[in-house]
Amino acid sequence: MSMIENPNLLPKPEPRPVTPEALANEIIDKLTYGTGKDAKAATRHDWLTATILVIRDRIIDHWMASTRRAYGDNAKRVYYLSLEFLIGRLMRDAVTNLELQGAMRQALARLGADFDILAELEPDAALGNGGLGRLAACFMESMASVDIPAYGYGIRYQNGLFRQEISDGWQVELPETWLEHGNPWEFERRESSYEVGFGGAVEPVGQRTDGEMAYRWAPAERVIATAYDTPVVGWRARRVNTLRLWAAKPIDPIRLAKFNAGDHIGALEESNKAEALTRVLYPADSHIAGQELRLRQEFFFSSASLQDILRRHVQQHGSLRNLGDFVAIQLNDTHPAIAVAELMRLLIDEHEWTLADAWDMARAVFSYTNHTLLPEALESWPVPLMERMLPRHMQLVYAVNAIELRRARKLGIDGETISRLSMIDENGERRVRMGTLAFMGSHSINGVSALHTDLMKETVFADLHRLYPDRINNKTNGITPRRWLMQCNPGLYNLAREALGDAIMDDAETLKGLEALAGDAAFRERFAAIKRDNKARLARLVRDRTGTRIDPSALFDVQIKRIHEYKRQLLNIIEAVALWDQMRSHPERDWVPRVKLFGGKAAPSYHNAKTIIKLAHDVARVINHDPSIDGLLKVVFVPNYNVSTAEVMVPAADLSEQISTAGMEASGTGNMKLSLNGALTIGTLDGANVEIRDHVGADNIFIFGLKADDVARRQGEGRDPQANIAASPELGQALAAIEGGLFSPDDPERYRDLVAGLRSHDWFMVTDDFDDYCRAQREVDRLWMSPDDWTAMAILNTARVGWFSSDRTIRQYAGDIWNVPAA
């Protein structure tokens, strides 16, 4: 039994001093005894490790106190299951939430070190891809900040998402070796290790006393899941929660008989197979081997997490019958949906529950967050793969599917609708619908913006909503203001704090007090100066990474997100080509100097997305070196976009591009981060853009394009994109230039297929929205030419988006779904 989980074993520590002198002495002590280095010989990385260890000691004090309090209060715990946790660097986050910023800076200065330089050396944890993983990280910080006992469960990826490099404009994927030199934040918990099985067969073992048949699953393969814990500090250290990540290890690290027989590679086969489970995030699933590995990953971390949850509950409460009173499990998208079947297996096969009781308990403890309206993004697995990999779980899916479909039949639902309700998709290759399993196996299903939730009821879950009308609810996403204002934009934070006081990080909605200062000339000047400093910082980063020089006085037009056709980076690039053409044709006009900045990664097997990255570079090469426009327009793709890069780009943005096809973006959180930092949004009425417009005011945002119902109607009716192109000379000329090879003289055919897709079907409505997008961009230009009006509008955006704090979101989850108290 671990000390961290048994309050009786935890001594109460004496408070540690927080003076600069005491911290400096502790850093030297850690440098000597933690890294084995003398100060004279220490490298910057040694100083970083020593500093982290000093911070970590203070976190541990709060961590243990939080654990004792959870046990003493007999508190209900929240367990957040997510395949991604995009936590970024942790040192600045921890120091901020411990309120040690000033003392730690002074301590390091005494030692001749600089806090900011050391913070930049910390690697980004490569545990996520984009908004889904960053949301999970914000939620973990907010759960601790509003005093909810919680665990996050995920995978300790050794390489995680790839590191993006650009070679001749093309994305190249390289391993992100963030764990190469160890991770001083984590603690291995060898006592929290569990066997996870795959494959094999299911055997009946006789009838139980309750009359149900008992089964035993005999897996053909087994691996060990071992826990690694990272503490997550809430604001003002109110609570410290745990992010528990699973590493896969073989039961037999080496087959000595094979090794001694000369088969040195074969002897390590089990080790290699186990380690592959936690090697990378999202292995390419365009082939069966990739699909199998992805399913293995999802089951591996779900099974280990559930075994851990049940062990902890039984240890404290002695029985599983009250599990629903003390456990709330949130499924972050469909990736952990297999956990529903795994909980039932554990309850039925290992604790002799009936099928009906296990199904009832699953729905009592599970809740499910959906993050997509794209049917192809709702995971499904081929039935033969499930039967081979998880035969017992496939039996249980069939069993609960039968329960639910019989219920639907009794309610008079017709056969065609029942077919759509089924967990088994019979259209073509038979597949298990994981979204349906998560929906039926949960008591709450939430969307992540008001529009997304409404569309869920009408589209992907329309039939399920009619069968279970009380399950779908909305929880609009949020971001932690500590990371996305206080840490990444200290100048703006200090300005707001000076005006409004310290409470702005306790309740971000108090930022509304800045509204009254939007008309104050002196305040506007200070606000604008902070933005200029942030832009100069980004300009240095761009120069260092790409060699391109950009002018901080230009309008910084920023689109930073995963590269995907529905997010429409292509629309932005085509508009850049059209704008460039107009600048060349009409040099007499007063053009606004503009830098279009892109950042994001494309999935390795997503050809069109990778082609869009190449197009951005090809367009940049031509436009950025065209003397006829004298640097008025530049296009820059910032490589290897991650949390740390975002922390530089977000505070520097003047314009936030949120231009997804209406009805396809579930929420977005980049839109919230950028708006909080004083960027004005140009966007469609999609995802949380709708609610951002409602909060900042329709006069303080640039809205364009089709609405979601317009998109659905046009997609349903069919249309000819060629008519849109014919009606828009600027669009026609831009597309002709791209497909004709103007930007790719080395390969004139490079973009023929990309443009042909726009001409033939244009599923993402680029041609439909192009002219209105250009109109909105020219409105942006006109406002930019009135700096006072622009700055006033930027201040109003910062003032009015405090509602989008993840603290607010978590409080809503706590009250409406988890039934736990929150501060």
Catalytic residue numbers read 371, 561-562, 567, 669, 673
Q: Measuring CA to CA, which residue among 235, 159, 234 is closest to residue 604?
A: 159
Residue 498: partners with Cβ closer than 8 Å, 6 or more residues away: none
* 583, 690, 736 from 540: Cα distances, Å: 27, 34, 35
The DSSP bridge partners found for residue 80 are: 152, 330
How does DSSP classify residue 319?
A: -
Q: Look at residue 200 and give its three-state secondary structure.
A: coil
Residue 347: partners with Cβ closer than 8 Å, 6 or more residues away: 320, 353, 357, 358, 361
**Whole-angstrom distance, CA of residue 234 vs CA of residue 241:** 8
Q: Half-sphere exposure of 781 toward its Cβ, with a 13 Å CA cutoff?
A: 16
How does DSSP classify residue 198?
A: E
E strands in 524-644:
555-560, 594-599, 633-638
Helix (H) or strand (E) holding 366: strand 366-369
Tokens standing for residue 253: 């690290």
How many helices (DSSP H) and strands (DSSP E) are in the chain? 33, 22
Helix (H) or strand (E) holding 403: helix 391-410
* 261, 451, 559 from 438: Cα distances, Å: 48, 21, 33
Tokens standing for residue 153: 């469960």
Tokens standing for residue 557: 């037009």
Cβ(241)–Cβ(151) below 8 Å: yes
Length of the chain: 823
Burial class for 627, CB neighbours closer than 10 Å (0-12, 13-18, 19+): exposed
* 255, 256, 279, 606 from 264: Cα distances, Å: 9, 9, 21, 37
Q: Measuring CA to CA, which residue among 601, 710, 744, 714 is closest to residue 162?
A: 601
Q: Measuring CA to CA, which residue among 390, 373, 159, 395 is closest to residue 295?
A: 390
Q: What are phi and psi of 96, to 5 degrees?
A: -60, -50
Secondary structure (DSSP) of 21-33: HHHHHHHHHHHHH
Sheet holding 327-332, edge to edge: 187-198, 221-233, 240-250, 150-155, 77-81, 327-332, 366-369, 444-447, 472-474
Helix (H) or strand (E) holding 711: helix 708-717
Cβ(373)–Cβ(660) below 8 Å: no
Q: What is the 3-state secondary structure (H, E, C) of 471-497?
A: CEEECCCCECHHHHHHHCCHHHHHHHH
CA 814-79-510 angle, to 5 degrees, is: 35
Say which residue the tokens 């297996």 belong to: 345
Helix (H) or strand (E) holding 196: strand 187-198
Residue 516: partners with Cβ closer than 8 Å, 6 or more residues away: none
**Whole-angstrom distance, CA of residue 78 vs CA of residue 90:** 22
* 21, 24, 39, 123, 601 from 50: Cα distances, Å: 15, 10, 11, 15, 33
